[in-house]
Structure 1
Amino acid sequence: MERGAAAALFPAVRSVWAGSIVYPPGGRYGPRVQQDIQLVLLHTGMLNIQVDGEARQVQPGTVILLKPGHHEMFYFAEEQSTWHRWISIELEPGGAEQKRLLEKLPWNVPISEELNRLTDVMLSLQGEGEPAYETLKALGISALELFAAEQQRIRAKLEAHPSVAAVKREIQNSYAESWTLRAMAEAGGVSPEHLVRLFQRYEQVTPMKFLWNYRVLKAQEMLAYTGLSISEIAERCGFQTSYHFARSVKQRTGLTPSAIRAASWEGKDSGRQQLNGE
């Protein structure tokens, strides 16, 4: 989709809503017929989805696009909880131009930090008394723009240097694994020394620092949006001990894992109380 094309859908937007849910191991949802445009951000676990009978597997760290009128069935990871968030955009029935714009959007892309933060903002707005409906509509269109732009950004990074993109993709798909610089270099098809130079040039950090920063980012998400214990989160994010986990989180965020969780949950409780008139 060309830049700004998603904004063309704005006059047709009836409403926008965001949500967050954790499914237990072996959870299922459906069947259903999709009514809206929906972005589904998969943070932890695994998702197997059937769309009109076609099976697709979704990896954590991925956002997928679901379009109106399709039959869907969701199957979640068998051995662990699955956490995902979503943004639903309800449109007025459209014609050929609306269909053309939607067809230009990709099926899935990695979750960008910008889309993650935008989803945070939408959930926060919904938790502060009367939701700002017009603001949510604008943010929903912005989410589609970010979704479309991510594909272009991935293409640009691949063109900039495929080795860096390959290593980042491997890390994002398996950040809990035990990574070494040599293993990263093998994934990128270059020597360890050359990979360090490439990352410093294109990402302004070393490969190992990128890995630890990404682990902390995923840990923050789990602390804020799941009920997993701190030790479970540490293990799922690739930290050898809870002490190492707490120290890394504090170094990169200035807060302890417990403080991050408390601040996030306090905000959610406050929002629920306002909505319930307490």
Structure 2
Amino acid sequence: MLNVRDIRGGHAFYPAGATFGPRVLGDYEFVLIQQGEARYIADGRTYAAPPGTVILARPGFHERYFWDEQGPTRHLFFHFTLSAVPRDLGSPRQWPVAQRMPAGDPVRPLFAFVVDVVTASAERRADATICRAVETMLSAFVRGPVASSAVQPVVAPEAVLLALAHTRRVLHENPAAVVTLEQLAEAAHVHKHHLCRLFAASLDARPMQVVLAFRMQHALTLMARSDLKLERIAQLCGFATVFHFSRRFAQFFGEPPSRVRANLAAGQAPVHELVTLINRVRG
């Protein structure tokens, strides 16, 4: 585990046109730009830093910040020292300096967690939880947003994103709710035939197949984490009869609900390609 020491940090707010530096950094510093278009200069090189950018500055950097000239800039930051750098991360001289992190990255949520813990404690010594959080951030940042993720994101057009968001919202509020192709097309602001073509191109599936995938995933959760009978699970997931539910479930997962439930009790969960694909969709 990474040995993180002398950690300190917080939230920063700057008015329009403010600057910071120049200075020579004496330790490591992570910076997360939350608002404002900033510029970061390190050892004579300039990096654009729009919102969502994470900066990893290293000891010895000659650095300067130019905050947004038109409006306020907000960012999170924390300093830390390392007793040693893990070999698998390579030389710090080769690490990236500034990266705009993609949706779903682990760095930004962990950043907020670390800053919240650090600002609530007078201790500058990082405990095991903070050490692991910083290690995960460092690994994800250095290896890159794609390499740090287990899967490649799927880029989908705006209409598909809107239809997926509508499905999630409706079925989250009521998993038994009726979701029609016409409703999805209206939410996506396109004709239903065009929406079907977009789904086929980006997900290789029809919109209503995706709706079914959401229902099946919810049914799987209820089977794994409740004692509800299949009849009740069928009702909660929008199926008129347990027979209809069982037939669609077996078609979707390749096994009947009773067998899948027994496998879930043994710690074996089925995986469906469409479900994983939906969870990888990004705009």
Native 8 Å contact 1:37 1:89 kept in 2? yes
Question: Identity over the aligned pairs, expressed in percent?
Answer: 21
Q: Distance in 1 between matches of 2:114 and 2:41?
A: 28
Count of residues paired in the alignment: 176
Q: Give the superposition deviation at 1:72.
A: 0.7
Is residue 2:113 matched to residue 1:124? no
Give the secondary-structure state (helix, strand or coil) at the position aligned to 2:126.
Answer: helix
Q: Distance in 2 between matches of 1:35 and 1:96?
A: 20
Q: Distance in 2 between matches of 1:122 and 1:72?
A: 23
* TM-score (normalised: structure 1): 0.50
**Aligned residue number for residue 86 of structure 1:** 77
Q: Which of the residues 138, 144, 150 maps onto 2:138?
A: 144
Q: Distance in 1 between matches of 2:135 and 2:63?
A: 23
Native 8 Å contact 1:41 1:61 kept in 2? yes
Give the direction of change, closer, same or farther, for the CA distance of 1:54–1:131 in structure 2 (3 Å limit). same
Counterpart residue type for residue 45 of structure 1: G
Counterpart residue type for residue 18 of structure 1: G
Unaligned stretches of 5+ residues in structure 2: 162-186, 204-209, 211-273
Q: Distance in 2 between matches of 1:139 and 1:206?
A: 26
**Aligned residue number for residue 102 of structure 1:** 92
**Aligned residue number for residue 34 of structure 1:** 25
Q: Which of the residues 140, 144, 157 maps onto 2:152?
A: 157
**Which deviates more, 103-112 or 60-69?**
103-112
Computed over aligned residues only, the root mean square deviation of the Cα atoms, in angstroms, reads 3.9
Q: Distance in 2 between matches of 1:90 and 1:206?
A: 37
Unaligned stretches of 5+ residues in structure 1: 1-6, 169-179, 183-190, 211-278
Q: Identify the structure with the greater helix proportion.
A: 1
Q: Give the superposition deviation at 1:137.
A: 3.4
Q: Distance in 1 between matches of 2:197 and 2:58?
A: 42
Q: Give the superposition deviation at 1:130.
A: 4.1
Native 8 Å contact 1:23 1:76 kept in 2? yes
Q: Give the superposition deviation at 1:68.
A: 1.7
Give the direction of change, closer, same or farther, for the CA distance of 1:126–1:70 in structure 2 (3 Å limit). closer
Give the secondary-structure state (helix, strand or coil) at the position aligned to 1:157.
Answer: coil
Q: Which of the residues 103, 106, 114 maps onto 2:106?
A: 114
Q: Distance in 2 between matches of 1:14 and 1:91?
A: 6
Instruction: Determine which structure has more spread, i.e. the larger CA radius of gyration.
Output: 2
Is residue 2:55 matched to residue 1:64? yes
Native 8 Å contact 1:18 1:119 kept in 2? no
The 5-angstrom pairing of residues 94-243 of structure 1 reads 100-107=90-97, 108-110=99-101, 112=104, 114-131=106-123, 133-135=125-127, 136-148=130-142, 150-153=145-148, 156-157=151-152, 161=154, 194-196=197-199, 198=202, 202-204=277-279
Native 8 Å contact 2:5 2:124 kept in 1? no
